[in-house]
Amino acid sequence: MALPKYTEPHYRIWHYVYLFICGCVFFFLIAPLFVIFPLSFNAEEFLVITDGMKRLDPDAFSLRWYKDMVYGTKNPWGLAAKNSFFIAIFATIGAVILGTVAALGLSSRYMPYKGIIMATLISPMIVPLIISGVAIFFFMAKAGLAATHTGIIIAHIILGTPFVVITVTATLSGFDHSVTRAAASLGSNPVNTFMKITLPLILPGVISGALFAFVTSFDEVVIVLFLAGLDNTTIPVQMWTGLREQLSPTILSVATCLILLSTLVLVAAELLRRRSERIRGINR
Amino acid sequence: MSSETQRILTTDGIPLEVSLKKVERRNKFKAFLLVAPLLFFLLIVYISPIIGMLFNSVDDRMVTNALPKTFIAMEKWDGKELPSEEVFEAFYIDFQKLIEEEREGKLSTQLNYEKNGFKSIIKKLRRKSKSFEEGNYKEQIMAVHERWADVEYWRAIKRRAPSYSYSKYLKGVDMYQNQEGKFVQVEEDRRIYKKLWVRTLKIAFYVTLFCFLMAYPIAHLLATLPMKYSNLLMICVLLPFWTSLLVRTASWMILLQQQGVVNDFLVWIGLVADDERLVMMYNETGTYIAMTQILLPFMVLPLYSVMKTISPSLVRAGKSLGGTPFTTFWKVYFPLTIPGIGAGSLLVFILAIGYYITPELVGGASGTLISNMIAYHMKYTLDWSFASAMGLMLLAGVLAIYWVYNKLVGIDNIKLG
């Protein structure tokens, strides 16, 4: 973005003002995440930056809240983490299978009523969560699935499928169908063709859809609040309760772990995107 | 003539046209078969419960079934004066049955939604009715409490007679149907829902506006910088996007509290006195700040993907033809980004209008939205039919925007990450 030498002074000033504005916005986006790190190492019980921390006094920092997170008495985080992973993994598997198969159908040029069906399949992403929560709660209560893992997993499959449908249809949009026809002409049956030819090619899309579905389920709190009993508590529900009742620094330790987790997801998603672009580039 | 234009046959002797149609039908069916599992799954566990909410929201059979004789007796009552002895007797019989079945509590809750003050008088009636003598129930019931002698309360009961009613929808916009069947607004000081709708729309609008104002420059920067820098800066957008909503809300709670980092900073640079720290949380300000930051990536990403496709030579051409940087931007670049602005704004607006978690945690009383009211009625007042009605009104609004979005952008063009 270097400016040419002949730029007039007032445009030059405007350019730096523009860069400054951009810097502020980036700061606004990313900085809030970083307050959590130092405070999670706080030795005190308060959620403020103490004088000791400002002086970088080593006594002001400690790992006590991380210890509390792992070993603390009457500690809900262990159960919550177990539930969260259990629910998210099964919800992801369900969403990926249903979503990928549906995306294959949707990308077929023979698909009838494509517009309205696509709109229906994407709707769980658009409908406000609170409404989905109310509707799913009524359904689960009638079906006797309230306060069960099964009920929550089904709810999260609903929320996760739109992401899988979107990412997989996007991958399939650059897909060269003559490859599958070639496989069929060489005597491969449809299932074999799918497993050996189609799936490896659309895999980046499928995995990035799976990441979305996993994160959606792992982070979802509104529907779990409606559906969960005491045994179904998840990490977001525990955070929600903690944030509403007393802000303890233990929450910040958990939050730090979650930020690290999302960094991993971000890196994975980014690598997948590039790989997908490369594979599709070859196809074209 | 027709015998001469021979129809083309396939090897099996079937006309090609028929055979082609057959194949096409089979392909259509195959494609549909692939979509079917997800479609039916969603129809059963998702779409049908939402439609079920429609029934929930108008269902009023609970009161109708609780007071069958009363409503039959009330049919002749014109609603002007107090009802006749006949109505009171029917009400007494129905009420005794409810007490036997221990359902009078539910009735009092339902009637209390219709008119405040029913709860206590039904409790009192339950106590006193044990010692009622036979005959002249009108006098006896009216003696229990003065409100039983108030015609307004009997009108309220009568309003609940039909099995289905749209009163919950009226309540959602602070209106009710009076005894003449006219729609009237509730008293000035009890109009809470209309205010809430307006506030929800206002907050969603301003959050969208702020997001647009902040996203536009950085999306432009990301789209014009060389790849190696823009990838690095993109992390600033994507990391919050992937981070848990509750984590981001928690960080705002820490930042905005009165002893928080923002206030510390303002005191330190001397903008605010130590004893006059700003209240930025548990009010509208908190909702604005936190929601803007949380929804900002949803505006940046669509804008970025549109700006990425705009060729820089267009702007150069504009400048070479004598446009100042400002006019080239306004006349050439900006119009080309309008699809991205539309996509991002609609997405952010849709998400903002139904937001629940963040307003609940940082919004306090003045920064909550319609979603919070729905959750409140689901959890605390247990008025599920009202919650359903409010939810469906919100849903209708969102679907209308979704429809516009689909027309303008096309849902196939939603991009993620």
Given an 8 Å threshold on Cβ–Cβ distance, is B297 in contact with A29? yes
Q: Which of residues 238-277 of A touch B (CB under 8 A)?
A: 239-240, 243-244, 247, 251-252, 255, 258-259, 262-263, 265-266, 269-270, 273
Query: Over 90: is that where the pLDDT of A170 sits?
Result: no
Given an 8 Å threshold on Cβ–Cβ distance, is B250 in contact with A255? yes
Give the per-residue pLDDT at B411.
62
Q: Which of residues 279-308 of B touch A (CB under 8 A)?
A: 293, 296-297
| CA distances in angstroms from A233 to A153, A238, B248, listed in the order given | 13, 7, 20
Q: Are B294 and B245 in contact (CB under 8 A)?
A: yes
Please compute Rg for chain A using Cα positions: 24
Q: Which of residues 315-354 of B touch A (CB under 8 A)?
A: 325, 350, 353-354
CATH number at residue A222: 1.10.3720.10
Return the sign of the alpha-carbon dihedral for residues B108, B109, B115, B117.
positive
Give the per-residue pLDDT at B218.
94
Given an 8 Å threshold on Cβ–Cβ distance, is A112 in contact with B32? yes
Query: Over 70: is that where the pLDDT of B223 sits?
Result: yes
Q: What is the mean pLDDT of residues B267-288?
A: 84
Query: Over 70: is that where the pLDDT of B4 sits?
Result: no
For residue B52, give the chain A residue with the closest CA: A135
Give the per-residue pLDDT at B205.
95
Smallest CA-to-CA distance from B95 within B134, B122, B58 is with B122
Nearest to B325 among A11, A111, A165 (CB): A11
A281: confidence class by pLDDT, cuts 50, 70, 90: low
Give the per-residue pLDDT at B5.
58
What gap in Å lies between CA B377 and CA B331, rounded to an integer?
Answer: 50
Alpha-carbon distance B240 to nearest alpha carbon in chain A (angstroms)? 7
| Selected residue of B23, B28, B32, B35 to mutate for chain A interface (largest A Cβ count, 10 A) | B35
Structural domain contains residue A98 = yes
Q: Which of residues 369-398 of B touch A (CB under 8 A)?
A: 371, 374-375, 378, 384, 387-388, 391-392, 394-395, 398
Nearest to B49 among A119, A138, A240 (CB): A138
Structural domain contains residue A129 = yes
What gap in Å lies between CA A234 and CA A254, rounded to an integer?
Answer: 12
Q: Are B57 and B385 in contact (CB under 8 A)?
A: yes
| Selected residue of B239, B246, B258, B360 to mutate for chain A interface (largest A Cβ count, 10 A) | B246
Alpha-carbon distance A69 to nearest alpha carbon in chain B (angstroms)? 16
Structural domain contains residue A228 = yes
Structural domain contains residue A135 = yes
Query: Over 50: is that where the pLDDT of A20 sits?
Result: yes
The answer to which of A25-34, B131-140, B310-319, B383-392 has the lowest mean pLDDT is B131-140
Q: Are B46 and B52 in contact (CB under 8 A)?
A: no
What gap in Å lies between CA B66 and CA B61, rounded to an integer?
Answer: 8
Smallest CA-to-CA distance from B248 within A99, A28, A111 is with A28
Query: Over 80: is that where the pLDDT of A86 sits?
Result: yes
Count of CB atoms situated within 10 Å of the CB of A178: 9
Q: What is the mean pLDDT of residues A14-36?
A: 91
Q: Which of residues 93-152 of A touch B (CB under 8 A)?
A: 98-99, 101-102, 104-106, 108, 110-112, 115, 117-124, 126-139
Distance from chain centroid for Cα A177: 30
Q: Coil, strand, or helix at residue B303?
A: helix
Distance from chain centroid for Cα A150: 21
Q: What's the length of chain A? A: 284
Higher pLDDT, A185 or B10: A185
Helices (H), B43-192: 48-58, 61-66, 68-74, 85-100, 104-114, 118-128, 137-144, 151-159, 167-172
Give the per-residue pLDDT at A283.
44
Q: Are A83 and A234 in contact (CB under 8 A)?
A: yes
Give the per-residue pLDDT at A73.
65
What phi and psi values does residue B220 have, to the nearest 5 degrees? -65, -45
Give the per-residue pLDDT at B180.
67
**Chains A–B, number of C-beta pairs less than 8 Å apart:** 271
Distance from chain centroid for Cα B277: 35
Given an 8 Å threshold on Cβ–Cβ distance, is B357 in contact with A124? no
Residues of A in contact with B50 (CB under 8 A): 127, 131, 135
Alpha-carbon distance B403 to nearest alpha carbon in chain A (angstroms)? 9
For residue B289, give the chain A residue with the closest CA: A28
Owner of token pair 């009163």: B167
**Domain boundaries of chain B, sorted by first residue:** 1-49, 61-161, 193-413
For residue A242, give the chain B residue with the closest CA: B250
What gap in Å lies between CA A228 and CA A222, rounded to an integer?
Answer: 10
B156: confidence class by pLDDT, cuts 50, 70, 90: confident
Residues of B in contact with A110 (CB under 8 A): 24, 27-28, 30-31
Query: Over 60: is that where the pLDDT of B377 sits?
Result: yes
What gap in Å lies between CA B311 and CA B330, rounded to an integer?
Answer: 16
Residues of B in contact with A139 (CB under 8 A): 45-46, 48-49, 52
Give the per-residue pLDDT at A284.
37
Higher pLDDT, A279 or A237: A237
Residues of B in contact with A102 (CB under 8 A): 34-35, 37-39
Those residues with Cβ within 8 angstroms of residue B387's Cβ, 6 or more apart along the chain or in another chain? A134, B374, B375, B377, B378
- Amino acid identity for residue A119 in this structure: A
What rounded mean pLDDT belongs to chain A? 86
Structural domain contains residue A54 = no
Residues of A in contact with B236 (CB under 8 A): 26, 29-30
What gap in Å lies between CA B289 and CA A252, rounded to an integer?
Answer: 20
Residues of A in contact with B393 (CB under 8 A): none
What gap in Å lies between CA B243 and CA B221, rounded to an integer?
Answer: 23
| Selected residue of A36, A127, A225 to mutate for chain B interface (largest B Cβ count, 10 A) | A127
DSSP state of B271: S
Structural domain contains residue A181 = yes
Alpha-carbon distance B84 to nearest alpha carbon in chain A (angstroms)? 41
What gap in Å lies between CA B109 and CA B86, rounded to an integer?
Answer: 25
What gap in Å lies between CA B185 and CA A245, rounded to an integer?
Answer: 37
Query: Does B68 contact A at CB distance below 8 Å?
Result: no
What is the tens place of the pLDDT at every residue in A112-130?
888 889 889 999 988 999 9
Domain B193-413, CATH: 1.10.3720.10
What gap in Å lies between CA B92 and CA B141, rounded to an integer?
Answer: 8
Domain extent at residue A220: 92-283
Smallest CA-to-CA distance from A169 within A281, A271, A276 is with A276
Query: Does B252 contact A at CB distance below 8 Å?
Result: yes
Give the per-residue pLDDT at B415.
57
What phi and psi values does residue B142 have, to the nearest 5 degrees? -65, -25
DSSP state of B411: G
Percent of chain B scoring above 90 in pLDDT: 25
What is the tens place of the pLDDT at every residue in A129-157?
999 999 999 999 999 988 899 999 999 99
Smallest CA-to-CA distance from B360 within B370, B345, B349 is with B370
Structural domain contains residue A197 = yes
Residues of A in contact with B52 (CB under 8 A): 135, 138-139
The tokens describing A4, both together, are 């040419």
Given an 8 Å threshold on Cβ–Cβ distance, is B247 in contact with A33? yes
What is the tens place of the pLDDT at every residue in B157-177?
887 777 777 878 888 888 877
The tokens describing B331, both together, are 């006349």
Domain count, chain A: 1
The answer to which of A59-63, A113-117, B91-95 has the lowest mean pLDDT is A59-63
Count of CB atoms situated within 10 Å of the CB of A275: 14
Please give the helix or strand (H or E) that residue B185 lies within, else none.
strand B183-185
What rounded mean pLDDT belongs to chain B? 85
Higher pLDDT, A229 or B301: B301
What is the tens place of the pLDDT at every residue in B26-65?
989 989 999 999 999 999 999 999 999 988 888 877 788 8
Q: Coil, strand, or helix at residue A61?
A: strand
Residues of B in contact with A137 (CB under 8 A): 378
The tokens describing B221, both together, are 């920067």
Give the per-residue pLDDT at A164.
93
